[in-house]
């Protein structure tokens, strides 16, 4: 039985916080080494994403994928029917991975360069890399795992703090799709 990735992230964060207390960040060489570790970690993630993009575009799986996207939490909107392809869905997931990477680098830049925090550099050179390697796209397209079970598209949205994510998970069961089609909610093919 595998350990929940959120639990391992918490263990890594707590462990790295203890380790970072022992690191002499005042030493310019140590600080440059930690900065280099952070940059290399992000370059590995960029390389992984570029490779994933190439693999996804090479496979170009045009299998139709229908699912009902839940309404945003706290919204009065109805759930929306989405009709797309596996190729488009994977590229959309990859795009959201890029956005997450850029947001993390931006936040780290503000925290480190503007606020002069150094400890998060160490943690942020491990957690995003771990998250990228544990991602569903990597499991399917690089490690070759079949898209069944938890890897069956559409994927559950990663829960936020303590698993309290957005407005629920996408539904791909026949009943939900038929209800959405009858109600006329969406159904527009995304390209």
Spatial CA neighbour of 138 closest among 69, 76, 55, 65? 55
Q: pTM value? A: 0.82
List, for residues 65-92, the tens digit of each pLDDT value.
988 888 777 777 788 888 999 999 999 9
Contact 34, 121 (CB under 8 A): yes
List, for residues 109-159, the tens digit of each pLDDT value.
999 989 988 888 888 999 999 999 999 999 999 999 999 988 898 888 765
Higher pLDDT, 4 or 181: 4
As a dihedral over the C-alpha atoms of residue 182, residue 150, residue 57, residue 187, rounded to 10 degrees, the angle is 10
pLDDT at residue 185, as a whole number: 53
**pLDDT over 90 at 99, yes or no:** yes
**pLDDT over 80 at 2, yes or no:** no
The pair of structure tokens assigned to 178 is: 């038929």
């Amino acid at each position: 039985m595998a350990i929940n990735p959120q639990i391992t992230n918490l263990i890594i964060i707590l462990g790295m916080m203890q380790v970072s207390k022992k690191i002499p960040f005042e030493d310019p060489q140590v600080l440059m080494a930690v900065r280099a570790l952070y940059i290399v970690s992000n370059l590995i993630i960029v390389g992984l994403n570029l490779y994933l993009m190439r693999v996804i575009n090479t496979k170009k799986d045009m299998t139709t994928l229908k699912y009902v996207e839940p309404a945003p939490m706290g919204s009065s909107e109805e759930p929306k029917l989405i009709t797309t392809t596996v190729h488009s869905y994977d590229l959309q997931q990859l795009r959201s991975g890029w956005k997450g990477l850029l947001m993390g680098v931006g936040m780290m830049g503000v925290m480190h360069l503007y606020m002069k925090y150094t400890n998060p550099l160490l943690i942020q050179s491990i957690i995003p890399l771990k998250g990228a390697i544990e991602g569903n796209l990597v499991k399917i397209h690089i490690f070759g795992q079949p898209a069944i079970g938890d890897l069956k598209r559409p994927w559950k949205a990663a829960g936020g703090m303590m698993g309290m994510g957005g407005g629920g998970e996408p539904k791909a069961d026949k009943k939900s799709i038929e209800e959405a089609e009858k109600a006329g909610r969406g159904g527009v093919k995304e390209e």
